[in-house]
Structures are given as structure tokens and as C-alpha cells.
Chain A
Amino acid sequence: MKNAKIFPSAILVILLLLILGALIFWISAKSDVFPGNTIKIGEIQTYSKLTSFTFPYRNGWQLALEEINSAGGVLGKKLKVISRDDAGEPGTAVTIAEELILKDKVVLLMGSFLSNVGLALSDFAKRNKVLYFATEPLSDALVWRKGNRYTFRLRPSNSMQNAMLAEEAAKNEAKRWATIAPNYAYGKDAVASFKKLLKAKRPDIEFVAEQWPALFNINAGAEIQALTGANPEAIYNALFASDLAKFVREGKLRNAFKNVFVVSLLTGEPEYLDPLREEAPQGWLVTGYPWYDISSPQHKKFLQAYQKRFNDYPRNGSLVGYNAMYAVYHMLKKAGSADTEKMIQAMEGLTFDSIVGPITFRKIDHQSSMGAFVGYTALKEGKGIMVRWNYADGKDYLPDDAQVMKLRPQ
């Protein structure tokens, strides 16, 4: 008896498997009988990690969704969003995408934060001929080198944001530059494109040091020492979240930023600037979202509605989520149907008035012309803010047609 622990267990396991199979069957059958008066949208985002960005993002699209539906929806139907967590893993995201398409019968996919998840979904979309609307991923490859006709992207890409910064940074006298960025594709792309763009404008500049901390595992003291050891006059920084906080604190204590001009890619975003509170850096050139300072009536209306609904102020994620949902709304309205081909045709060249100005999705590469706010950081009442900012419209920083033709597989 004691020695017989082998296959016998199989019987109950088979029973379990049978129950399991029946459950799968039941659930898949159940999801097919949804009433036909909604248009279902599959939304995939990293809600179990990177919450400082993704939670405000969810608030953003939820607010837009409520507004759209209470105004009667679109095409006579209500929008229904099925939101899923990809845990930041491309493989998981693809499985979820299949589930959303096959089981939940969504008409399009949207979302994702990390660039590799975005790329995986974009490839999935191409293969399965469904529309994928990438909202947050910044990777250039998404719409250019690895672009395809089923993928659209909302946020200004990595190189677009860097072009905005390089334009302003070139005006600074600093000649000796150091760079620090997280050691993964986003960081590497950011440094490469910033270097290229700045060099094009200022051939006299040299890059004297670089640091590549592991994402969310920066060894701040040692790496800042290493940067200052090269005596740079300016630092380009692409860190964000907890890495940024450690970088700022340790850098101040070690006097790394004194008389050094710092260009910092995402630091103006409230998600990353606000946790620094009274230690927020001053005079850094950043991209971000000065929600407190935008005076256009559309944005004011959004701000009020957001604060009323969530009792909190919007972050950059909220802006992206809100714009994304409205982009979908306008696209569906223009398409007149939830058929993938019709939606693609409608999205190509779609222009709508967003709360930060008109946004157009280019036909040639499916990149939107949504811009970014570029400005300098400052301290006000113990909080970091952006000053001297302007809204850099994305359309001025998009690659021209010839470049796109060269980059994008035809």
C-alpha cells in the first residue's frame, strides 16, 4: 500500500478535469449570449504593477466612458469596456488578448504600458486582423520599424519627446554631457535618440559618461558618483518612479546637480514628480503634465469633472486614458460600424478635438499627433511643478513621409 503512490490519483484528477472542462465550456458558452446593444472593447493594462501610472489611467478612461455613455453612447449602442491586467508580461497579454477576442468578442483591443507588451499585442493584432490601439507604450518600433496596419498609437513616441527636449536643450551652453537611463529598451532608445538629435543640432557636444541602472533597482550612490567622476556640465536622465526618487535625493546629497544642467525625460509627470514633494528638483528641463496650470476651457471642464468623480487630481496617465477613450469614440462614430476594416479606415486620418488640442492619427504610420508639455521644474509651496512650459504639438516632431517610408515595412 505504502509503496503504491503512483497513478492511482488519476481518477479524482480526471474528475476534476471533467468539472474543469465543463466549467470552461459553461463560461465560454455564457459569454456568447451578451445582449447586442453594447459595443465591447478589450482593455489590457498593467494594473497589478506600475500602479502609480495605471490607476490614474484607468480613472481617465472610466471618466470618458461614463461621459460617452451618459450622452447616449455611440452608433446607438453603449460602450462596454472589459478591462484586464497583463501583469507586465507579453506572454500573458497575448493570452488575454485571445481570450478577449475569442470569448468576450470585443471589437478592438487597447492599452498596455510596457513597450514589449505593446509590441506583442501589435503583432497579435496583425496576425489576427484586429485593431490594436496602443495608448501608453513609447517605443519607436511600435509604429515605425515594426509597425503594421492594425496598430495605432496615441502617446508621442520616445524619439518625439526627445526631439522636443533636444530642441530646448541645444540652446544650453553645456558641452560635456553624461547620460543615465534604466537598462532596458525604453532607456536605451531614449539615450540613443537624444544623443543623435542633440548631436545633429550641436556637433560640438561630447558625451563623457553613461550609466545603466537595472530598472527599479538603481544603485543610486555609486552610479551618481560614477557620473560626477566624469565632470559633466549636463546630465540626460530617463529614470522614472522609485529610481528617479533615489537619483534625486542621492544626487542632491552628493552635490551632483550643482551648476549642472539636467534634462529629464518624464520627470514633469505628476506620477513621478509629486512623490518628491519639497525635494523636487528645480530648473530641470522635463516633459510632463502641468494640469494645475492649463487654462483652456475644455481642460478646465475635464479637471472639474475628474476631481468631482475621483476626489483626486489627474495625473499624466489620466490624460492619456481620457484621450484614448475619446479617440475610440470618435473613430467608431466616423466608422459607423464596429467592423475592423471600417474602423481602420476611419482611424486613418481621424482628427478630433481633445482636451489638449486637436489630435490626428496619420494615415502613413498610424501615429497620433498628441503632443507633450515641455518645461522646467520649480518648487511651489513645497511641491514640484512645471513652469515656463509650452505644449509641444506632436505634429511638429513626427518624422516626414520619406523617413516613414524608409522605416516602416511596406
Chain B
Amino acid sequence: MPKLEKGILLGFYFVQFLTGLSDASALFLVACGLSLIFGVLRIVNLAHGSFYMVGAYLAYYLIANFPQGAFFFWAGILLAALTVGTIGIVIETLLLRRLYYAPELFILFATFGIVLIFQDLSRWFFGAEDILGQQAPGLAGSIDIMGVLLPQYDVVLIVIAPLILVGLWFFLYRTRWGILVRAATEDREMSDALGVNQSRLFTGVFFLGSCLAGLGGAIQLPKGGANLLMDLNIIAAAFVVVVVGGMGSIPGAYLAAVIIGELSAFGVLIFPQSTLVLMFLLMAVVLVMRPHGLLGNAEPEVQGAAKMSTATLKPASKKLKLLGLALLILLFMMPVFVGSFGLVLMTEIALFALASMSLYFIMGPGGMVSFGHAAFFGGGAYAAALTVHYMQTPMELAILLAPLLVGLVALIIGWFCVRLSGVYLAMLTLACAQICWSIVFQWGKFTGGDDGILGIWPSAWASDKTVFYYLTLILCIGGIMALRHFIFAPFGYTLRACRDSSLRVDSIGINRHRHQWFAFTLAGTFAGFAGGIYVFSKGNVFPDVMAIPRSFDFLFMILLGGIETLFGPIAGSAAFTWLHDQIARIDYWQLILGCIFILLVIAFPDGIAGSIHTRLGRYFED
């Protein structure tokens, strides 16, 4: 708490308030484009952060090469924003347009490919060094407010954000194009049926959204600069703003940005350690209280879950079961074929397959997309590691305890999450995962913080790589078969019924939430099981096993494999892990991996397993 004389104290709090407001403005400028794109295109655009980063770099170099002066400074910023918008057009027409008919989440995967590509391209174009942005000419000083200084540029930001807000409002509510955009936001199919040129509309919206991202990056130059980490640093915050405000709602985004800005401005005064978790805590609270964000509307019923999966899951035919058996035998013979590192990789693939299968269990049959599944995987790893570390539990017991402990956590988180649907549900799981992560990260005395827990190795009998491979294989196959059993048990059918028609399920007296809650807990438990084994394969655990990128890895494994078959997650995790390992030896590996992902997305819009099925499936019917 500040220790200042009374006279200056008021100024101190007022300036702190204005500082929060200017942070909010910077946040809003990034988030409003994201919200706009989501509202119309229904794309969860991970590449938005990349546009933000490119905007910052472009503006920096434009301004540096222009003559001095205020006019050229602002011209540079605008030009950078427009250039980023143009890049957006190129990406939309060349890539995203091809994917609108694929499952919606598949586009998420494509945008992740774009993120990877932009990471390496920016490094190549703009260099490895961090850049400090130019000061705005004429606005490089500070103003005195009741004895406390506030940078002039903060005032500019505070003014610009509401101007953009009003401009967007005018555009959306007072122009013909805006009306079409709103119509598409409300009901895409209907506006299509009425003859609105969808692709032109989508391109336009994507251009505008990308422009705003670029503008956000360019306009924060005097407050910071440009570096290669800023894309991933901003994207989580931008999503939180969009979700808290209500997806697609621009005023909501502004409101959310202001709340977050002020909360963190005053939060650091009271509790400086809160910087990691404050935002996500707010998002969790808001979503529990208001399931569609502050100013958001309910998603139309047809959206989300039902669209994700069109085919009905059926148990495998006899021929396929034989094939599965052959595969199983092959897996058990693997140690003969591959070297010891091959086994290490296969062990990892098996564990990821179980973890992504557990995510698939709630995503496919359950219709609940989770962006925070790593919390359970990492939670299992931590549960096992902590019991070993503090109670010298033997490995066998720790592997059993891990899923039970994680199951309890999943029970609690699930209770809140199943009340939501679609992207909001996904974002609540993300918030919960981030809260779990920050507990592990911050509670250094108990969990070791980011120094992690070391020396968690398997029992003596399992320490040989081949033995551990067999152990993992048996446990993972057991887990996957158990999940398969649940899917084809009456419980699984009920779950799919809950996904496909909540109305009918309700009317025949099935307790929808309870089924989904149970499925969520089950998925968490199995992910925890995989995590518990994982920690023994690595020998250590660090908070990054629970972090956001790991959650998305699981998601990508499923999407890569294909959401429509049970075999998808297994094929996906094998392909994902193997690709990563092979590519990571090359210098610009992110660029290559990103390109491969995008090619896969275009070539196999149903995922690897799904595409193979469509082509060859008929040979395997009984």
C-alpha cells in the first residue's frame, strides 16, 4: 500500500486508475478484432497474436524509414495496420476459405500452423533482437495530475479506444455492410440463404479484424516495442477479454478490457504476486455467474457440439478387430524393430494417445471441447510426483493414486464446466487449468514451483526401457479400451444423446448435466492416469505440463487424427509426436512444421484416420 502524504494520495489513485484505463485500451484494440472475427466467421483465430506482432514490427520499420514528424509516425502506424489486414486477406482467401466446411475446430488447428509459420518468418525478416519502439513525436513527455506523472501517450490510448469502439458501432449499425455482418453473426445460414455473398463478407470481416490486430500491435510501440514472444503473450489475454465480454460483442470486449485493466492496476497494489492468475480468476468467476460473458448472447442451438461430429460411432467390424489385433501384436513386437530411443518415443506416443483419447471422450461423444485438458494430465503427473516425493510411495501405488486424486479435481471443475456449452465451456476449462497451473507455479514450498520436482524414477523392476515400454503399453491400451467400453456402453449412448439433442434428452427425463459431469470426471481421471505414468518416464515434472500449450497439443493430436473415428486420437498423437521429433532437428523447424500442419489440414479435412476411412472404409464392413 502506498505510503504518501495525504495531498498526493488522491492523485496517486487517480493516475493508477488512468494507467489501468490505458492498459485496457491497448488490450481492447487487440481483442475487438478477435471478437469480430469470431462473431461472424466462428473461427477461434490463434493467429491473431501473430498479426499483432507483425503489426508492431512493420510499424517500427516503417516509422524508422520515414522522415521524422508526427504525421509520418501516425501514417506508419496506419500503413502497418493496413498491411497486416492485407496479409489477413491473403490468408483468408488462400487457406481459411477452404476450411469453412470442415469441422469448426479444425480451423483452430490451421491457425496454429499460421502461428508457427509467422514465428519463424518474423525471426527471419525482423531479426532475433528485441526492439524498443519509437516514442510518438510530440507525445513523449508526461503530464502532471495532482502531483503525479502520467505519460502523455497513455492519454492518447485512453482516447483512441473509445473512438474505435464508437467507429465500429457506427460501422456495424449504420452501414449496409455492417447490417450484413450482424446478420451473419446472428444466423450465418439464413443470411447465406438470402443471397448475401458469404465469401466476400468473410474476407471483409477477416480484413477488418486483422487490421485491428495490426493496429493494436503498432499502437503499443511507444509503450513497449516488438519482440518474437509477443504473439503468444498477448493471445491468451485477448481471448480472456473476448470471452469475458461475450464472444462477438464489441462493447462487451471494451467493458471486459476496462475491468481487467483496472483489476490488475489495483491488484498489484494489494497483492503483487497476483499477476499470473488474476485475469483467469476473473474469467472463471464471470463465466460461472454469466455463462455467455458480460454482454454476450446465447449461441444458437445448432452451433458447436452437434456440428462437430456427423457420423455415428459404431463398434468395429470383425475385419477391423482382426486388424486391431494385428496392430497390437506389432506394438508388442516393437522392441525388436526399434532402438532404445524408438522405445522412448513410442512410450511417449502411448501416453499421449491415452491422454488425447480421454479428451476425445468428452469432445467427440460428449460434445464438450476442453482447452484445459493438460490440467488433468499435468495434475496426474504432479499427484504421482508429490506422493513419491513426500511419502516415498512406490511407483505402482503412485500410478494408481494419481487418477483418483485428479478425478476429485475433475469432479469439482466439471461441476462448473458442464453448465456451459461451446466455446464458453472451452474457455472455462482453460481458466480452471490456468488457475491450477498458477497454484502449482506459485506454491513453490510445496510443489517446487517452476524448479519442479526431480528424481521421480520408476521402481527398479521397471527401470529398463523395454520393460517400461511394455508397462506403459499395457496400461495405456487398458485405459483406451476402458474408454472405448464407456463409449459403447449405455452411458456412452446417453452421452451422445445429450450432445445431439438436449431438448429430447431433457424431455425423456435424463439428467443431462449429471451425465456430462460424470463424463468430464471420467475424462479427467484417465488423463490423470496418463500423467501419472508420464512423470515416471521423464523422471521429473515441471509446471509446463499443465500450461496452455500442452492443452492445445492434445487438441491438435485429436484434430490431426480426426474427430470422427475412435482411432483418430491414437493416429493423431503418433503423427504429432513423431513429426515433432523429426522436424525439430532442422533450424527453422517451426516454419516447416507449420506448413506441414496446414497441408495436412487441407489434404485431410477429416483428419488422418477420418480421411483414410472415407476412402477405404467400405472394404472393412462385415
Interface residues of A (CB under 8 A from B): 1-14, 16-18, 20-21, 24-25, 28-29, 47-49, 51-52, 55, 84-85, 87, 89-92, 94-96, 98-99, 102-103, 115-116, 119-120, 122-124, 126-127, 139, 141, 146, 183-185, 188, 208, 210-214, 216-217, 219-223, 225-226, 229-231, 241-242, 245-246, 249-250, 253-255, 271-272, 274-277, 279
Instruction: Judge whether B228 and A4 touch: CB under 8 Å.
Output: no
Verify A255–B612 contact, CB threshold 8 A: no
Interface centre among B578, B587, B613, B618 (most CB of A within 10 A): B613
Mask for B306-317, Cβ within 8 A of A = 1, else 0?
000001111111
- Whether B616 pairs with A8 at a CB distance below 8 angstroms is yes
Q: How far is the CA of A10 from the CA of B327 in the complex (A)?
A: 9
Q: Chain A residues near B616 (CB, 8 Å)? A: 8-9, 11-12
B223-248 contact mask (Cβ, 8 Å, vs A): 1 or 0: 11101111001000100000000000
CA distance A81 to B570 in the complex (A): 35
Write out the residue numbers on chain A whose beta carbons fall within 8 Å of the beta carbon of B610. 5, 9
Q: Is the CB of B142 within 8 A of A127?
A: no
| Chain A CB within 8 A of B337 CB | yes
Minimum distance in angstroms from B305 CB to a CB of chain A:
17
Q: Once the chains are docked, how many angstroms separate the CA of A340 from the CA of B334?
A: 30
> Are A253 and B142 closer than 8 Å at their CB atoms?
yes
| Contact of A184 with B3 at beta-carbon distance under 8 Å, contacts A48-B590, A222-B19, A245-B224 already known | no
B272 to chain A, nearest CB (A): 5
How far, in angstroms, from A158 to B150 measured CA to CA in the complex?
34
Contact B275 A213 (CB under 8 A): yes
B338 contacts A25, C-beta separation under 8 Å: yes
Given A10-B324, A127-B457, do A85 and B539 touch, yes or no (CB 8 Å)? no
Q: Which of A13, A210, A212, A213 contacts B567 (CB 8 A)?
A: A13
The stretch among B33-41, B68-76, B286-294, B443-451 that forms the contact with chain A is B443-451
Could you tell me the distance in whole angstroms from the C-beta of A179 to the nearest C-beta in chain B? 10
Contacts of B545 in A (CB 8 A): 91
Question: Which of B12, B130, B273: most chain A CB closer than 10 A?
Answer: B130
Contact check, A102 vs B272: say whether CB atoms are below 8 A apart: no
Chain A residue numbers with a CB within 8 Å of B589 are 48, 85
Q: How far does the alpha carbon of A122 sit from the alpha carbon of B542 in the complex, in Å?
A: 14
Q: Name 8 A/B residue pairs within 8 A (Cβ), A-sorted.
A: A7-B565, A8-B617, A18-B330, A52-B227, A211-B272, A219-B23, A223-B268, A230-B3
Interface residues of B in 119-166 (CB under 8 A from A): 119-120, 123, 128-132, 141-142, 148-151, 154
Closest chain-B Cβ to A400's Cβ sits at a distance in Å of 24
Inter-chain CB contacts under 8 Å: number: 316
Q: What B residues does A7 contact at CB under 8 A?
A: 316-317, 320-321, 323-324, 565-567, 620
- Which segment, of B170-178, B198-206, B339-347, B398-406, faces chain A? B339-347
Contacts of A99 in B (CB 8 A): 341, 344, 581
Q: Are A8 and B224 in contact (CB under 8 A)?
A: no
In the complex, which of the residues A52, A96, A103, A183 has the most CB atoms of chain B within 10 Å of its own CB atom? A183
CB proximity of B406 to chain A, nearest CB, Å? 18
Are A91 and B542 in contact, with the CB atoms below 8 A?
Answer: yes
**Cross-chain contact A255 with B149 (CB below 8 angstroms):** yes
Q: B540 an interface residue at 8 Å Cβ cutoff? A: yes
Assess A98 versus B574: contact at CB under 8 Å? Given A52-B129, A275-B131: no
Contact B617 A5, beta carbon cutoff 8 Å? yes
**Secondary structure of the B contact surface, majority rule:** helix
How distant is the Cα of A21 from the Cα of B578 in the complex, in angstroms? 10
How far apart sit A352 and B170, CA to CA, in the bound complex (Å)?
71
Q: Is the CB–CB distance between A184 and B441 below 8 Å?
A: yes
Question: If the complex has contacts A52-B128, A91-B542, A91-B544, are A219 and B12 also in contact, measured as CB distance less than 8 A?
Answer: no
**Residue numbers in A under 8 Å from B233 (CB-CB):** 216-217
Contact B272 A212 (CB under 8 A): yes
- The residue of chain A having its C-beta at the shortest distance from the C-beta of B542 within the complex is A90
A318 to chain B, nearest CB (A): 13
A95/B581 in contact, CB under 8 A: yes
Instruction: For chain B, give the interface size range.
Output: 35 or more
Q: Which chain B residues lie closer than 8 Å to A211 at the CB level?
A: 268, 272
Which residues of B are found within 8 Å of A127, using beta-carbon distances?
A: 455, 457, 539
Q: A11-B619, A25-B342 are in contact. Are A6 and B542 (CB under 8 A)?
A: no
Shortest CB-to-CB span from B473 to chain A, Å, is 14
Beta-carbon contact of A91 and B538 below 8 Å:
yes
**A17, B564: Cβ atoms under 8 Å?**
no
Q: Are B132 and A249 in contact (CB under 8 A)?
A: yes
**How would you classify the secondary structure of chain A's contact residues: helix, strand, loop or mixed?**
helix
Residues in A neighbouring B148, C-beta threshold 8 A: 225
A51–B23 contact, CB under 8 A? no
Q: Kindly state whether residue B67 has any CB partner on chain A within 8 Å.
A: no
Asked if A12 meets B339 with Cβ closer than 8 Å, knowing A20-B574, A84-B584, A211-B268, the reply is no
Interface contact B618-A1, CB-CB below 8 Å = yes
Q: Which single residue of chain A is at the shortest CB-CB distance from B345?
A: A24
Q: How far is the CA of A229 from the CA of B1 in the complex (A)?
A: 7
Give the complex CA separation of A253 and B617 in angstroms: 67
Query: Across the interface, which residues of A come within 8 angstroms of B268, CB to CB?
Result: 211, 219, 222-223, 226
Interface 0/1 of B247-287, CB less than 8 Å to A? 00000000000000000110011001101100000000000
Picked from B20, B128, B265, the residue with its CB within 8 Å of the CB of A51 is: B128
Given contacts A6-B313, A242-B225, contact A103 B450 (CB under 8 A): no
Counting chain B CB atoms within 10 Å of each CB, the highest count among A6, A25, A47, A249 belongs to A6
Known: A222-B19, A229-B3, A254-B149. A9 touches B609 (CB 8 A): yes
Q: A52-B129, A185-B450, A222-B264 are in contact. Are A103 and B22 (CB under 8 A)?
A: no
A55 to B123, CA, bound (A): 11
Contact between chains at A9 and B338 (CB < 8 Å): no
The answer, among B120, B132, B141, B451, for a CB contact under 8 Å with A139, is: B451
Cross-chain contact A221 with B23 (CB below 8 angstroms):
yes
**Residue of B149, B269, B315, B590 touching A6 (CB-CB under 8 A):** B315
Q: Does B519 count as interface, using CB distance less than 8 angstroms?
A: no
Contact assessment for B338 and A5 in the assembled complex, using a CB-CB cutoff below 8 Å: no
How distant is the Cα of A94 from the Cα of B345 in the complex, in angstroms? 11
A3 to chain B: closest CB distance in Å?
5
Please report the C-alpha to C-alpha distance between residue A52 and residue B255 in the assembled complex, in whole angstroms.
Answer: 36
B571 sits at the interface (CB 8 A): yes
Contact A14 B3 (CB under 8 A): no
Closest residue on chain A to residue B381 by CB atoms: A91
Cα–Cα, bound, A95→B539 (Å):
11
Interface bits B570-583 vs A (CB < 8 Å: 1, else 0): 11001100100100
Q: Does B608 make an interface contact (CB < 8 A)? A: yes
- Find chain A residues with CB under 8 A from B441 CB: 184
A229 to B571, CA, bound (A): 56
Min C-beta distance of B58 to chain A, whole Å = 18
A250 to B140: give the CA distance in the assembly, Å.
11
Q: Which of A9, A49, A87, A271 has the most CB of B within 10 A?
A: A9
B7 at the interface (CB under 8 A from A): no
**B-side contacts of A120, CB under 8 Å:** 452, 454, 538-540, 542
**A16 x B320 contact (CB < 8 A):** no
Which residues of B lie under 8 Å from residue A222 when comparing CB positions? Answer: 16, 19-20, 23, 264-265, 268
- Tell me, rounded to whole Å, the shortest Cβ–Cβ distance linking B595 to chain A: 15
Q: Is the CB of B131 within 8 A of A84?
A: no
**Digit string of B584-619 for contact with A (CB within 8 Å is 1, else 0)?**
110101100000000000000000111111111111
* Cβ-defined partner of B341 (8 Å) among A21, A103, A124: A103
Q: A8-B320, A21-B334, A91-B545 are in contact. Are A49 and B228 (CB under 8 A)?
A: yes
Residues of chain B lying within 8 A (CB to CB) of residue A18: 330
Whether A275 contacts B132 in the complex (CB less than 8 A), given A6-B315, A10-B323, A85-B589, comes out as yes
**Chain B's nearest CB lies how many Å from the CB of A117?**
9
Q: Which of B149, B264, B342, B450 contacts A253 (CB 8 A)?
A: B149
B562 on the A face (CB < 8 A): yes
Known A95-B538, A115-B451, A127-B539; further 9 A-B contacts with Cβ < 8 A: A5-B565, A7-B565, A17-B330, A120-B540, A124-B540, A184-B450, A188-B449, A229-B12, A245-B132
* Alpha-carbon distance between A295 and B305 when the two chains are bound, in angstroms: 68
